[in-house]
Structure 1
C-alpha cells in the first residue's frame, strides 16, 4: 500500500519538475525592463544625480534595503570609469557597477554585476530627453536570461518585480532633481 503511494508522489514530483523545465526552456534568451517618467527639471539638473554614484543614496531604491551596507567607490568621482561596489545583507546582496558611457545630460550606461545572491551581468541605461517643462528619463536594464533566471521567471514576473523598484527610484530621482532646481 505504501509503495504505490510513494510511486505516485514521486511521479507527480517528476512531472512537476519536467513541466517547470519545459516552461523555463521556452523563456527568452534575454530580457529588457524599462520604466520612464517626466521630471520637472532640465537634463542638466537630473544628470549629476546619475553620473556620481555618491549621490545615489538619495534616490536609488536599493540603497534603502540595508542601512549598514558596505560601499566602496573607485575610479574618477563621476563619469566613465567611476565604480561603485556594495556588500549588504541578503536583501541588498553584493555587486559592482561601472560607468561605461557618460554623455552629459543625455545618456549614462552602466555595467551592473551581481555577485550575490546570484551572479549576473546586465547593462543599465539612463536616457534623458528634454521635454517641454522638464526631462523625460528612461531607465532600462538588459541582460541574458540564464537557465536559473528562466526557472525563476516561470514563477515570478521579473518585469513587474524590478519595474516596481525602477518606479520607486524614478519617483525619488524626480523629487531630488526637482528640489535641486535648474
Structure 2
C-alpha cells in the first residue's frame, strides 16, 4: 500500500511539473530557413504563388508517391488551395493562400487535420537573384502538450525546409530545355 501511495504521489508530482513547466515554455514556435536563388524575383514569386508546382520542389512529395492531391480555388494568388491525403509520413491536411503581395510575400494557412499553422514565403532581391525565406509559425496557446512539442519543431521540419528550398533552387536555376 505504501508503494502505491508513493507511486501515485510521484505521478502527481510529475504531472504538475510537466503541466506547470509547460507554462514557462514559449506559446509560439517559428522555424525559418532561406536560400539565394539566381532567378528574378518575379519568376520565383510565380512558382510560389500557386500550388500547381508545389510537388516539384516539396520535401514531402517523395515520402508518399501515392498521396492524393486536390487543388481548390483559383490557380494562383489569394484563395488558391491544395488538399492532400497520404501515408503516415505526409498525413493529410490543406493549405490555402491568405495573402499575396507580388514579388514580396505569400502567406499560407496550413491545417494538419485540426492543427493550424502559417507558412510565409518572403522574397527580396539580392544581387542578380532572389533571397527566399520560408517561415513556419504556430501558436500553442495554453496546451501543455503542444508547448512541449513546440520544442521539437526546429529538429522536425528544419531539415525539410532546407531540402525543399534546395529543390526549389535546383528547379528554378536549371537550364531550360
> TM (normalized to structure 1)?
0.86
C-alpha separation between the residues in 2 aligned to 1:133 and 1:160?
Answer: 32
Q: Judge conservation of contact 1:74–1:82 (CA < 8 Å) in 2.
A: yes
CA distance in 2, matches of 1:143, 1:109: 13
For the Cα contact (< 8 Å) 1:52–1:79, is it kept in 2? Answer: yes
Match of 1:45 in 2: 43
Specify the alignment match of 1:58 in structure 2: 56
Alignment deviations for residues 2-36 of structure 1 (CA, whole Å, 9 cap, x no partner): x3333333333322222111121222222222111
Matched, 1:85 2:83: yes
Aligned length: 174
Cα distance in 2, alignment partners of residues 129 and 152 from structure 1? 32
Give the Cα–Cα distance (whole angstroms) in 2 for the partners of residues 174 and 180 of structure 1: 12
Distance 1:180 1:33 in 2: 31
| Structure 2, unaligned runs of 5 or more | none
Which residue of structure 2 aligns with residue 13 of structure 1? 11
* Mapped pair 1:140 → 2:109: no
1:129 aligned residue: 124
1:56 to partner: Cα distance:
0.8
Q: Is the contact made by 1:21 and 1:151 (CA closer than 8 Å) also made in structure 2? A: no
RMSD: 1.8
C-alpha displacement at 1:180, in angstroms?
A: 5.3
Structure 1: which 5+ runs fail to align?
none
Which residue of structure 2 lines up, in the alignment, with residue 71 of structure 1? Answer: 69
Q: TM-score, normalised on structure 2?
A: 0.88
1:75 is displaced (CA, Å) by 1.1
Structure 1 consecutive aligned stretches of length 4 or more whose deviation exceeds 6 Å: none
Deviations 1:23-82 (A, max 9, x none): 212222222221111112221232222112120111111222221111110111111111
Secondary structure at the residue paired with 1:33?
A: strand
